[in-house]
Amino acid sequence: MDKKEHIAIFTTASLPWLTGTAVNPLFRAAYLCKGGERDVTLVIPWLTLKDQGLVYPKNVTFASPKEHEEYICQWLEERVGFSPGFSIRFYPAKVIISFYVKLFVNRLEHLSAFTFKK
C-alpha cells in the first residue's frame, strides 16, 4: 500500500483578507488535495480580535479558529465547486503597524511535524 504524499503550505495571510498571499495558497491547497492522492495542510496565521480588526475588511472577525476555518471552507467551496479536503492549522501571529505598513510577526519555530498528525 502506497503512503500518501503530505504537503504543508505555510502563508502569512488568510481570508477574509483578499490578497494574493491569502488566496493563492488557499486555491493551491484545494487543487493539490483534489482527487485524494495527497494529504494537504494549509497553515495560516491566527490573529487576536484586535489584530483581526486591523487587517480584515468589513468588520469581519472570528471568535475561534474553528469559526475562521468554517468561513474559509465555505468561501472556497463557493468558488471551486467542490468541498475542500485539506486540513487547516493555525499559528499565533501579530500585526505591527509601523511606518504605515502592516507587518506580520510570526514565530514558527515551535511548529513541528507532530503538529500535522491526525
Q: Which three cell numbers stand for residue 28?
A: 493551491
Q: Are 44 and 88 in contact (CB under 8 A)?
A: yes
Q: CA 41, CA 60: separation in Å to the nearest integer?
A: 24
Q: CA 81, CA 69: separation in Å to the nearest integer?
A: 17
Q: CA 51, CA 54: separation in Å to the nearest integer?
A: 5
CA torsion, points 72, 112, 20, 102, in degrees to nearest 10?
100
pLDDT of residue 114: 41
Strand partners, 89: 43
Q: Look at the pTM and tell me if it is higher than 0.75.
A: yes
DSSP 48: -
pLDDT of residue 3: 78
pLDDT tens column, 60-69: 999 999 999 9
pLDDT tens column, 60-98: 999 999 999 999 999 999 999 988 899 999 998 888 776
